[in-house]
A and B are shown apart, each in its own frame.
Chain A
Amino acid sequence: MGKRRISSEALAIPMSSMIDVTFLLLIYFIVTKREEIPEAHLAVNLPSPNAHATKVDEKPNLLEIEVHPGQFYLKKTPQTLPQLEAMLAKLAAYDPDQTVIIKTSLKAQTQELVQVLDLCKGLNLTKLNVMTLK
């Protein structure tokens, strides 16, 4: 009595459905993949509720920047962004601990405020305060 041969087709693992699922997964990940945007956070100091007002005898070294729509002012002098950067670099080199007050017009765009905050951070001016220009 001869041995019956096992069909090689019957031994194969059915891959078709597994491949379907794998392709579905692949398409899903391709479609939902989004580029990670590197986000930076620029601190805006609001008064802390725990901070108590302290009397300071000497006048603090304040640097005042005004942000208007399409225009910046440093100590009331109109500046373009590159001019402001150059002036701030000089002032930061003189005294990096000075407090910078950024007065922003309600009509200015957010990116104009961000540009000034970014400049100050780049020059290691960390004592930043944002105020609203009314």
Chain B
Amino acid sequence: MKARDDSALETPVAALIDVVFQLIIFFVVTSAIDKDIVDESIRLAQAKHVAAIEKNDPRTVLINVAEDGGINIAMQPLNLVQLQQILSATRTQSGDSVPIVIRADGTALYRHVDGAMQAVGKAGLYRVQLSAVATGDAKPATR
């Protein structure tokens, strides 16, 4: 009787590992993009009466204002002129009702936020919101 080849009984794991590694790479790449948009060095002010936002308008533009007044969009540092140019382009592309969320550090001076708001106004956009950490128990809102 012919001897049975034992190696033929093994499950082929190599392809499975390939898929798992592809998954890992996918998660690494996509999570890096997500982190770029939200500047985690910014410590937002706290709001206890306002509900947390559950769903954002996909068109929303996030402007980060750091403690030292540095402005960035998706971690791309910008001066006020560049900011206004980007916002003007956004307005041309998506209309003037595009929501602008200013994520300013709580300890940043208002003049830095004012500069960003002036750029927003000059670009012809008017839906401006200031971001804060919702610390209260108000019900979450969808916008």
Total interface residues on B, CB under 8 Å, equals 62
B49 to A122, Cβ gap below 8 A? yes
Q: Which of B103-142 contact A (CB under 8 A)?
A: 103-114, 117, 120-121, 124-134, 138, 140
Residues B107 and A44 in contact, CB atoms below 8 Å apart: no
Contact B106 A110 (CB under 8 A): yes
* Given contact pairs A13-B10, A40-B134, A110-B45, A28 touches B24 in the complex (Cβ within 8 A): yes
Cβ of A32: which chain B residues have Cβ within 8 Å of it? 27, 31
Quick one: which of B3, B10, B16, B50 contacts A40, CB cutoff 8 A?
B50
Interchain nearest-CB distance for A112 vs B (Å): 8
Query: Do A7 and B6 touch across chains, with their CB atoms under 8 A apart?
Result: yes
B52 near A: Cβ within 8 Å? yes
- Residues in A with CB closer than 8 Å to B140 are 38
A121–B101 Cα distance when bound, in Å, is 17
List, in ascending order, chain B residues with CB within 8 A of A6's CB.
4, 6
**A 27-53 to B, binary, CB cutoff 8 A, 1 in contact else 0:** 011001010011111111111111000
Residues A50-73 near B (CB distance < 8 A): 50, 67
Q: Which residue of A has the minimal Cβ distance to B40?
A: A34
Question: Is A113 a contact partner of B53 (Cβ separation < 8 A)?
Answer: no
Known: A4-B1, A37-B133, A44-B130. A118 touches B106 (CB 8 A): no
In the assembly, what is the distance between CA of A43 and CA of B53, in Å?
12
Q: Are B48 and A118 in contact (CB under 8 A)?
A: yes
CB contacts (< 8 Å) of B128 on chain A: these are 43-46
Q: Is A93 an interface residue (CB 8 A)?
A: no
Q: Is the CB of A109 within 8 A of B108?
A: yes
Residues of B with C-beta under 8 A to A119 = 49
In the complex, what residues of B have CB within 8 A of residue A1's CB? 1
Q: Is the CB of A42 within 8 A of B121?
A: no
How far, in Å, is A82 (CB) from chain B's closest CB? 13
Per a CB cutoff under 8 Å, which of A4, A46, A50, A67 touches B3?
A: A4
Binding site for B on A (CB under 8 A): 1, 3-4, 6-7, 10-11, 13-14, 17-18, 21-22, 24-25, 28-29, 32, 34, 37-50, 67, 104-115, 117-119, 121-122, 130, 132
Given A38-B134, A110-B130, 14 extra CB contacts under 8 A: A4-B3, A18-B13, A25-B23, A25-B24, A28-B28, A40-B51, A42-B132, A44-B130, A46-B127, A49-B126, A105-B110, A110-B105, A114-B47, A122-B48
19 A–B contacts from the bound complex (CB under 8 Å): A4-B4, A10-B10, A21-B21, A28-B28, A39-B131, A40-B132, A40-B134, A41-B53, A42-B130, A42-B132, A44-B128, A45-B128, A46-B120, A46-B128, A107-B109, A117-B130, A121-B47, A121-B50, A122-B49
